[in-house]
Amino acid sequence: MSGVRIAAISAEALDLDAHLAAVSDPTMGAEVTFVGRVRDHDPDAGSSVVALEYSAHPDAEAALLGIAERALEGTGAAVAVSHRIGRLEVGDAAVVIAVAAAHRAEAFEVCRSIIETIKTELPVWKRQIEADGTTAWKGLGG
């Protein structure tokens, strides 16, 4: 069974194990994961980063589903992908992706395609909050 198992925009903490369980399949020989976390720095920041506040367009979940479907075209792979919204502290997971495929190259390719497309096409914005109180809005994607 291939396809998109999860494509969610969530205000709740993201669970990597739930994503892995969603793509678990005895016909798949490879599982690849990606976890994007809030880090404590940004090259453009004047001080350390303490949090990110993510907001999403109402159509973001449908857009995420489309991104996952396009990445899977012709592969037979399975994917579970979620993007978090709300205030995230340093270390919190902002994006979780799990991909299962018959072979590792395909799993890595699908996973990379999804995260790169999220960064450029998903209508999610983040407000970066720095230790000195400075804030900055960042464009599309996580």
The pTM (predicted TM-score) of the whole model is 0.95
- Give the type of residue at 92: D
pLDDT tens, position by position, 39-85: 999 988 889 999 999 999 999 999 999 999 999 999 999 999 999 99
Assess whether pLDDT exceeds 50 at residue 119: yes
| Average pLDDT, rounded, for the chain | 95
Q: Look at residue 142 and tell me whether its pLDDT is greater than 70.
A: no
Say whether pLDDT at 95 is over 80.
yes
List of domains in the chain: 3-136 (3.90.1170.40)
- The pLDDT > 90 percentage for the chain reads 92
Which distant-in-sequence residues (6+ apart) come within 8 Å of 90 by Cβ? 38, 39, 40, 49, 50, 51
pLDDT of residue 132: 95
